[in-house]
Structure 1
Amino acid sequence: MPSLSAGHRRRRMPDPESSDEGDDSPAPTNPRDSGPSKRARTGQDSPQLSDDDLDHSTMNGIGLRQNGNGHSEGGFQPGAITRVKVNNFVTYEDAVFSPGPNLNMVIGPNGTGKSSLVCAICIGLGYAASNLGRAAKFSEFVKHGKDQATIEIELQRKPEDSSNYIIKVRITREGDKRKWWINGSEVPLKSVQQLVRGLGIQVDNLCQFLPQDRVSEFSGLSPVALLHETQRAAAPPEMLTWHDELKDLRKNQKSIQLNVETDEETLRTQEERQEGLRGDVERLQERAQIQEKIALLESSVPFVEYNVKRRHYLECRERAKEARNQVTALEAEFAPTVQAVNNKEEYHHRIDVAVKERKKDLQNSERAADNFFTQVEEASEGIKELEQKAKSERDGEQKRKQQYTAIQQKIADLEAQLKNEPPAFDGPEWNAKIRAEEHKCREIEAEQRQVTEKREDLDRQGLDVRARVGEKERELATLNSQQGKNISLLRSISRDAATAWEWIEANRDKFEKDVYGPPLIECRVKDPRYANVIESIFQKNDFMVITAQTSADFEILNEQLLGASHLRLADINLRTVSRSLGQVRNSPLSTQELQNLGLDGWALDFVDGPEAVLSMLCGAVRLDRIAVGLNDLNESQYNALTSSAVSTFVSGRSHYSIQRRREYGPGATSTTTKSIQNARYWTGQPIDTNDKQVLEETLKGLRENFQVMKVESGELKEKLRQLSEQRSTILEAIKILKAKKNEAQLIAGRFQALPGKIEREKENYQAMKLVSENYRARMREIEAQSDELVLKKNALSIEYKALIQGIRTAHLSLQEARFRLIEAASDVESLKEQSSDITRRLEEERQNYERANQEYKEVKAKAIAVHNQCISILAEGNNKEYFETIDKDLTIEQLEQDIDAEKSKLDYIHDGNPGALREFETRQVAIDRLTATITTARTELTSVDNSIARLRARWEPELDKLIASISAAFAHNFEQIGCAGEVGVHKDEDFDLWAIEIRVKFRENETLQQLDQHRQSGGERSVSTIFYLMALQSLARSPFRVVDEINQGMDPRNERMVHERMVDIASAQWRSGSTTVRTIWPAEEMDEREVMDSRPG
């Protein structure tokens, strides 16, 4: 089998742990240019390899071999990998792989980078890293210490294309970015994926691409999932589409069938209930018909009433017309007599107008006389005012003569005062004295403020000291208690945790349930001998966890303790426990079983504390799953424990952790051991006397300091009292000085005002003298004004007398007119009395007409109202023909009799179930709707049934044919190793339950059994898995397949059988030009000659 060349490299690639790196100059390799290869060196060769050895065979200890003699370009299927080149990828710095067209095996020890080639193929073809089951980010595949990695994959071209497809990707560590090229041109990832899909490559199909970390996933595929993957790998694409369509159609079919059954059951129930109501409904329908007739008759009342009103209206109209004609005839017959009365009434009216006019003239004359009388009165008042003014002038003159002497005496007194000048007033001197005293007062006030501030500061210090004394007393009391010892220990370990616990203690009313402090405080070791063992299980943070029992309490703790706006603590852990200890505890063995294995019990059995805290520790520390014992184990006990369900235990002074790899078999285990330290926390040691002594000394110093502050505060208080007295004395002196200053200032002001007062008094004297000199002139003027008013009064009196005479004349004229009015009224009354019979008859006829006309209007209005009501009823459009056929001679009494007759019928039909009719009609609507729904659903169901039948007729034969081919190849593979196997299809009504059934037999005395994880060993399942994949080869629709470490869990015999069978199959496929297969094989102990000698050809 020709070698799978690793390319021309100048130096050996370093081990993954090595930091020795050098420059590589890889030369492009084409499978068409490859010549005969040398045999590869194995791990048994000397570690010192030559460049020639490296150029042809070995890279990181991996033996790369290709079964076959080499092929021309036609040996590769379109899409097959002809070359893989990597740079700075995982463990590789520079490497080129040139696989052959058929079976390619990569053999080497674990850790030499075999799976890295698989990763390069997956990532280089544009698939996600999740298909590898390893790192989630592409940047994690970049070689350590490098910024970029490059993968270049060359795929065999299609016959119609001129050159192979070269896909290149560059991965940048920073930002986890990728860049793609196809044949040297930069393209988006989508273009790469389209090219790969077009070549039939399915890296995401475990039947075609099976990485090492997903071998167990493929082995664990459910039969249903295996059928899906098999169709993806070996069947035409439309078969998977048909299967999916059948699944959807079956789901739709089941849904429709369920709906139809439900609807039919509902329909039967509804129809049965409908029949039960039919008797009540018929009675109710008859009752409803009578009620409708009654309603129709009652609605006819306005029409009958209108006919009655109309007849009455016509009668009233005729009566009003006759009454009007009668009035007209009487008025024509008695016209002369009425005219004479009218003439007299006209004369009476004219006389009445004359009386009113003369009365008006009299009123005007009286108003004019009143006006003149008012003017005479005003003149008389003016004369009296002038006489009073003259009297006032005489009295004033007499008074002024008396004041002359008083003013002259006052002027003499003021002049005498002016000669006696008082002492001069010195304002600045007085102000200086006052300011001096005020300055003293301000100095005292400043000193008062200083002393007050000093005392207040001292008092604040005293309060602080007193608070610290109380705090230290409480700390000392707490330190003397066991709880205090624990809190003191907690504070020494984590001040944040101690602060958090103090806050919780002070705010318990804020929580829904109890919140528990750190296990360091809440828990204890039941037996001190186990303190070392138990503490070895804990990390430091596990001792500091605060436990809440509800999510709401957890949110409060998170906000108050960790929130940026509150305590902002850092060194604390918060956890929530919602399940009880019984629900959480999950110990794999009983205590008795542990003791039989040489251990004392589970760690949980030796810790005492609140149930919620213990539940939290079961989840965080696994107290319920870690076994402990004080004594060391012997070898048999240790071996028994490593084979049991116990994965962690502490025995004596050692801590053991067992790791198991189930994929490598039950014996694949590794154990980590570490020594345990002495307990630091749950030791039960006495209180630290040094802490207590420090507290007591601090408390003593605080108390002494407080006494000193108290004495100083008393002294400052006495000083304030003295300063207050001094300030009061100075304020009194300032008050006296200001009073004396004001008095002196007042005396000086009065003396300075004397010249002005004398001058003003002299001016008053001269003014009075001037008034006296004008006295006679004013008296003459008053007399002249009085004479003028007397003359005016006399003239007005003469005119007033003439007006009085005019009033007398107007009054006589008014009396004459009034006499004539009385005569005219008498004549009118006489004529009216003579024609009273005529007037009475006319009045009676007019009243008769008014009554007839009023009745006519009222009847007309009522008829119109009823008529409008009838129009409204007809506008509704119901029973119009019936209303038009109502007998016009029908009376209201007859209509009421018809209504009463129908009501009597209604009384004989009782309303037993009033809601029956409504219920019947509602249910009937539902029945009709449900019947239509069922009909539609049955039609749809028939359509779905037909679609399923048509699609199944196309899909099922193809699937049976495919599985038969796989089963034949699978059975043949098993026959070649002396075993038996077959593949079938489990068929079900539900197409999503169709599945692959693999049955195998590895022993002579066995029958074919279902392949699962319970009946077969891991190695047998691995053999079955690889044979199933090999059975797919002849049906493959992919240009290549990759299987990484399919031999996981196989024993050497199975490895050898599978290897030989793979070589045989590859030989046959190589001759037929079938799919390329790449297998990663970690078995270092396999002889290379066995690999090489098994090559075909």
Structure 2
Amino acid sequence: MARQVRSSTASDDSLKENRDVRRTSSQNGVKITNVKSGSSGKAKRTSTVQQDEEEDEEDEHNQTQEDGDGDAEGEEDGEGSPKGRKRTRLNTDGDSRPSMVAKDEPVVKTLPRDTDGYIPGQIVRIQLKNFLTYDYANFHCGPYLNMIIGPNGTGKSSIACAIALGLNWPPSILGRAENIFSFVKNDQDEGYIEIELKGPKGRPNLVVRRNLTSKSKANSFTLNGKPCTAKEISAQMAQLNVQISNLCTFLPQDKVSSFAMMNSQQLLKETQRAAGNRDLTLWHENLIRAGNEHRSMIQTIKDEEGRLQQMRERNEAIEKEVERYQERKRIEEHIEILDLFIPSVKYNELRDNFTIAKERQRKLFRKVAKLEARNAPVRNLLNSIKEKIRSHERDRTRGQAATQDKFKQMQRKWKENTTLEIEADKLNSQIEGLEVEEQRRANRIKQMESKLAEFEEDYRKEVKTENLEDLLAELKQVNNKRREVEDRIRELSPQQETIFTGQSLAKMTITGLQDRLKQLDSEDGRKLAHLRRWDSDCHDTVMWIRRNREKFKMDIIEPPYLSLTVKDQRYAAAVEACFGSLQLRTFVAQCREDYDLLNNSINEENSALGRKVRVATWFRDHDQIQLVPPPMTPEEMREMGFEGYAIDIVDCPEGLRTYLKAELQLHRVAISLSQSIDVEKAMDLVARPLPSWPGGANFITGSILHQVTRSRYGRHARSNATVNIAPARNLSAQAGESFDIEQKRKIESDIQEQQIKLKDLEEEHQKVAEQRRALDLEHTEQQREKAALDRRKDAIREERMRKEALRPKIDRLKVQLRNEKDKPTADAERKRVRREMAKIAKRRTSLANEHLNLARDVIAEQTAATRAGLENMQLEANKAVLEQLCQKKDEKHRKTLDEFHEADAEYTRIKAESKVALEIARDAHEQAKEEHKQLYKETEAKRAAYKAALKEAQRNGTEPPSDEGIDLRTVDDLEAALEEQHAQLELITKTNSGVVEQYEKRKRDIEQSEGILEKKNRDAQAVEKTINSTKSKWLPALQELVDNIGEKFSAAFERIGCAGEIRIREDDDYDRWAIDILVKFRDHEKLSILTGQRQSGGERSLTTILYLMSLTEEARTPFSLVDEINQGMDQRAERVVHNSMVEVTCKDTAGQYFLITPKLLPDLNYHERMKVLCVANGEWLPEETGMGNLKSLIEGYVHHKRGDTSKSH
């Protein structure tokens, strides 16, 4: 515990004013100054400190003051310690150098001394007025060790307070009063602190005065006599590297215990501020900031890599479909190009053929015309004969036509005569059959009359039947009763359906509740019920997988919460501590296809569950899994007392075991239920480096989880973080039991309620069923009555229909009888036939005369035709002779003419085909894409240029041009290529364009993520490079500083028979790097870290002063202070500490040091560079100057001793 110290209170009497005279003792060269202080007693006196003439001469340095403006009122004292730029280091010549150059120079521990022995920033003089116990005091300090001694309560620690407050540090840094006005002497309204600091070389000293008032917090500063602000004072202190707030350089009495309480990280930071390279703190802060930034970047990169890997895996799963889609698109694109090229190339080929055919046709036409002109005379004569032949042929044709027409007239006449002859024969036969037909008519009339009498008799017969109207009325009454019964039955049907539906629903509900009750009796059912409350998405996914197992190639392993059991429930809490909440709810796939199907079905936007769901899934190919071996062998496990690894304590499917090893490292987590495991030894075992593994693992002892890691930097120190294990909640056998009991009660209550409801429905069903049976019997009876009435009604209707059918038959038979009777008799018919026969004979005579006249005309025309035929034969003979003559003369003309006809037909055909091809090509161009049109233009331009160059080469007889890069394919080649593309297209199945859009979107996301990741990696590498660069400067400088401090610290402890060591504790987090002080005060102890609780107060004080002494030679601050550090030390330790302090602080390179102590041992070592300030305090100090002056007394004692020595000689 830190000792609580209250502000000392002076009495009302003032101290007497005294003067002290500083002189150098010839005996040991120690400067002793008497600082007198007193409290008021019966008479008020003023405490003063006066220096001799030597010290007064030093005040001449204060005559020159710096110019500057400042506020009259100082700022409040609540400010922290001043911070500013580091003090500029000097080279060996005393010139300041820029930091960039200074990096390659040796480290300068302190600034060069001035000719008066002081280093800039050291305290030259202190003056106090009305400050704590002091009325007035003014004294000078030496540039090396200043030992301030005096009895307790004299005001030694007040000097430490004056230094801190006078240089604008807050009161809180002293561990005393928190308000600045509390430091004004009692019964005084105001006071001040004035401190003179050594100024930079060539510049005057700095005189800082802080004016205090006891009535308020208001205070003010002056710098070299001019008002200034507190910020200006702080800036000056920062330039001089004054570090009052650093316990390593300024340790007030009430802060001694705080040094031991300071954690190792703070000790490192304060040590860097106080000593070593001036850039240590800056480097360390940069490393902390860069380290935090780098860890954040690495975590961000890991997250981004995980997201990127997941997107890549999903794209890889559909990449083949996309490739097929792209290949199909490429083929379709090629087909579109060929569809454009083929009509165009075909037209071009036809156009070329048309040009050739046209030239050949024109050429043959000219040749035929030339040959025809040569044979024109003979041909003209031949044509004249041909014309005569055609004229005779026309006349002959007309004669033949006239003859044929007459022959046709003769045939018609002959045919008409034949027809009349047949008609006459029929009439003759008709006369012969008139008697037979008359007999037949009489028979028909007799039969008709008999049939008619029969029908009329049947029609008049009456059959006795019921009254139809009465029967219909009776039938209507029966139908009404029947409909009433049917209505009552229909009214009962909804009741029956409602009862039946209620019974079915109640039975289904009871069955479902009984199934749920059975599930709660099983472990799987309890877990599912618990999982539904915990994570409904995960529960619904489990149920969906169970319903759709056939969709997956292999089993999807359900989350560990369901599929993993702990063999021994004593280990349930330990095993559960190895899991995170998400890991307990992770689904494990055993092949890539199942993993993709599960993600697409559940985690995509169109979830199979009908809502947006996000569940954890996992899969790794076996070649991607590289398991780190267990940290301990079985023999080591048994020797240490571990029962086994976590993976050996659980039962689970083999696929889940792979997940537990790869992701949770359960095969590397050793477990013991005992608390007696040697943790240090276990840490050594699990922290051993393995191939491709830096070392480190987790292990469990009792209810504590140990997480052992090894640093990746420096000496690769190991560290252990412990976590208390909570009781198992999810993997224990009792998980969710309280919930299950409550659920069972509720389900059993629901079942009972449904059974009561079902019983009520059964009773209601019986009542309705009885009513329905009665109505059905009544309805059946009414149906029988209705059937009997329908049969009687049908009989009446059949009789009516029979009589109604006879009436039309009677009417038709009467008409037929009347027509038969109205026919003429046989004599009248015979006369009529004979008249017809006479008409036919007359017409036949006329036809015979007409036929004879036509025969005469035919004979005359045949004679003329014979004469014309003979003339035509003569002309044909003449024609044949002339044709033979033409053929002999112009065989070549005929051949040429044939060739012309053939060429002309070819020309016409190609011309027609070219027009069609042109229209097809134009249509293809109109429908083609612009880029395809441009491709065709470029291809056609290259082809035309090649053909022109080829013609030119053929014409000139030079080497033909190269056809490389020229598309010279014909239509047949293009059509073959088109057919091949269509065949390939048929082989490639169609792919959903949505999959491709998803692939492309994810691909863009991947490219964007890769860019972001690349930038982040570059940034992380840059930060890491900065870290390595800064660490390469910081760590050697820090190691050198700690080695130097540690060497002196260990040597100091050896001198007092103890052991001490200073170590750097490394960590991945630079903010957690630390300096550990390890000490051992007894032989049987081990080195242990200095803490505020482990060591005694004296041991802490001794360790503190030895550390500060070890730090002194490395310090950069202009002065340091330690107040009453020797409290609790034994004499041996105190002597060693004092002598070591004198030795260290009085070296040439040492800085200014203030040692405040209330006691001194006899026969201590002193040095001529040290200065002893003795504080005298009392009520009756002499007012006369010189009385009680310790220096005068010492000088008198020395003079006396020398006199005695001379007398003895």
TM-score normalized by the length of structure 2: 0.37
TM-score normalized by the length of structure 1: 0.40
Q: Relative CO higher for 1 or 2, CA cutoff 8 Å, sep ≥ 6?
A: 2
